[in-house]
Structure 1
Amino acid sequence: MGFLQKTSKQTAKLKSLLVLAVSRIAVARRPRLARKSIACSDVSQLLVLGHLDRALHRAEQVIQEDNMLEAFGIIELYCKRLIEQAEQLDKPQECGEELREAAANIMFAAGWCGDLQELLFARTILADKFGGDFAAAAKEGTGIVDPILVWKLSGNTTSMQLKKKVTKEIAAENNILVDFSELPEATEDDDDVLVDFFELQEATEEGNNSVPNSQDLLGEMSCQDDMDGSSESGNDNVHIATSSDGSDDEVIGRRNRRWWRLGCA
């Protein structure tokens, strides 16, 4: 009887933590939406000024914010699933695949979302319920962890091919013509990782069971990170906020005014 009572209290605490996490997601979205909007505007204005290289550099933040916003949406769904079926967590051995999947994704996300501290405590409780092996697999992003969530939280946002794609989309939305012909081509490995990701999205949306293993995806991204670190180390001095001829003052001035209106300056 004592064991059952302890487990029930633990489950109640877990449910409270997840409810708080859902509330915090709503709060955490707002500044990220603001930063994404400002970064998109900066990319557009830099393209108008002819600074394609700096626009691509700025597109990296657009990717980062967009990935985290999409990850928040996925995490929120898994939190709500655990909240709705919390009673079943009193008997983790009898939990269905959907509940185990939700638990694994929350445990993985806990290590990547500094905005959601409640998930760290939730991960500890879930690890007690499902065991060390389950927790270890979830932490690594393997097993039943959603590969899309793995990509959104740990993917390579410095990929030149991805930055070109985002920059091109922003340019199209603002009727701006861009020419990437003078820029160095992305590496073949870079293209392969992106193709894997886009195929992964399509397969997931269509319910295709041939989704690649998330651990393989992480391995490819890790290799690409190493390559990017060695091949792009000479570009660390690229900054949007400064320019030798002062041509970016208008972009920065507008951005600062927008931050002031948002109360984020």
Structure 2
Amino acid sequence: MGFIHRRTSKQTGRVKTLLGLALKRLAVARRPRLARKSISRGDVGQLLALGRLDRALHRAEQVIEEDNMLEAFNIIELYCDRLIEHAKQLDKPDECGEDIREAAAGIMFAAGWCGDLPELLFARTILADKFGGDFAMMAKEGTGVVDPMLVWKLAGNKRNMELKKKVVKEIASENNTEVDFSDFPEMVEHNGSDKVPHQSNQEASRNRR
């Protein structure tokens, strides 16, 4: 049993190291995305000034893409901090609380969507070994205890017309530009994949930090 305990503790130490590296990389990964978001918002404003609403709506997809990834980074950062701070609980995965399980599942899901953070892939392998195949499969698919908001931010439909209109309207307001969406009717949603999940109390708390 002593051997198993030492091996598990070594794995936990490895996870802490990987998540610490991911946190450092997050700071670097944010910068180009913030720049692209700013450029894209500027492009939308210019297109609106030229009366090219169709192109402005298309360009809004890039704004949404960058904004979603940045918000996903915030959630991932929270999860990394949580797992590092409470790493000892990972030595007994069956006894982990819901908050630790959510963090582990979130990191495992994000690993498949965040090429900016390669350390998450290695952390996912160790976490999968700790929590088991069923947990790993649900985490990979974005089900179970994975936060629906994180799933949407990383895997949601960035072409959602209503969301694009919201972004364009916001930018138009900032630039004192009038917009008329009468030529762009609502898109019918055939399933829930286009819908933004309602903000949970936990998500609201994250946004206030």
Please indicate the TM-score interval, normalised by the length of the shorter structure: over 0.9
In structure 1, C-alpha distance between the alignment counterparts of 2:143 and 2:9, rounded to whole Å? 29
Letter in 2 for 1:120: L
Question: Residues 37-95 of structure 1, C-alpha deviation per residue, up to 9 Å, x if partnerless?
Answer: 00000100111011111111111100000000000000000010000001111111111
* Aligned match of 2:34: 33
Q: Indicate the SS of the match to 1:179.
A: coil
* Aligned match of 1:160: 161
In structure 2, C-alpha distance between the alignment counterparts of 1:28 and 1:159, rounded to whole Å? 25
* Aligned match of 1:133: 134
> Cα offset for 1:178?
0.9
1:189 pairs with 2:182: no
From the superposition, tell whether residues 205 and 121 of structure 1 become closer, same or farther in structure 2 (CA, over 3 Å).
closer
In structure 2, C-alpha distance between the alignment counterparts of 1:17 and 1:204, rounded to whole Å? 25
> Cα offset for 1:186?
2.0
In structure 2, C-alpha distance between the alignment counterparts of 1:39 and 1:191, rounded to whole Å? 29
Which blocks of at least 5 consecutive residues in structure 1 are unaligned? 208-265
> Cα offset for 1:133?
0.4
Decide whether the 8 Å contact of 1:21 with 1:116 is kept in 2: yes
From the superposition, tell whether residues 164 and 190 of structure 1 become closer, same or farther in structure 2 (CA, over 3 Å).
farther
Letter in 1 for 2:126: I
Letter in 2 for 1:197: V
Question: Residues 110-146 of structure 1, C-alpha deviation per residue, up to 9 Å, x if partnerless?
Answer: 0110100000000000000000000001111111100
1:91 pairs with 2:92: yes
Q: Indicate the SS of the match to 1:185.
A: coil
> Cα offset for 1:191?
10
* Aligned match of 1:76: 77
1:175 pairs with 2:176: yes
Decide whether the 8 Å contact of 1:161 with 1:190 is kept in 2: no
* Aligned match of 1:23: 24
From the superposition, tell whether residues 161 and 115 of structure 1 become closer, same or farther in structure 2 (CA, over 3 Å).
same
Letter in 2 for 1:187: M
Q: What pairs up with 1:208-227 in 2 under 5 angstroms?
A: none
TM-score by length of structure 2 reads: 0.92
Q: Indicate the SS of the match to 1:189.
A: coil
Q: Indicate the SS of the match to 2:180.
A: coil
CA root-mean-square deviation: 1.8
In structure 2, C-alpha distance between the alignment counterparts of 1:108 and 1:206, rounded to whole Å? 21
1:113 pairs with 2:114: yes
* Aligned match of 1:201: 199
Decide whether the 8 Å contact of 1:105 with 1:138 is kept in 2: yes
1:55 pairs with 2:56: yes
Which blocks of at least 5 consecutive residues in structure 2 are unaligned? none
From the superposition, tell whether residues 19 and 98 of structure 1 become closer, same or farther in structure 2 (CA, over 3 Å).
same
In structure 2, C-alpha distance between the alignment counterparts of 1:67 and 1:206, rounded to whole Å? 15
Question: How many pairs align?
Answer: 204
Decide whether the 8 Å contact of 1:108 with 1:141 is kept in 2: yes
In structure 1, C-alpha distance between the alignment counterparts of 2:203 and 2:74, rounded to whole Å? 15
In structure 1, C-alpha distance between the alignment counterparts of 2:184 and 2:178, rounded to whole Å? 18
Question: Residues 192-225 of structure 1, C-alpha deviation per residue, up to 9 Å, x if partnerless?
Answer: 766x425x12666579xxxxxxxxxxxxxxxxxx
Percent of aligned pairs with the same amino acid: 69
Q: Indicate the SS of the match to 1:68.
A: helix
TM-score by length of structure 1 reads: 0.73
From the superposition, tell whether residues 202 and 131 of structure 1 become closer, same or farther in structure 2 (CA, over 3 Å).
closer
Larger C-alpha radius of gyration, 1 or 2?
1
Letter in 1 for 2:137: A
Q: What pairs up with 1:234-253 in 2 under 5 angstroms?
A: none
> Cα offset for 1:184?
3.0
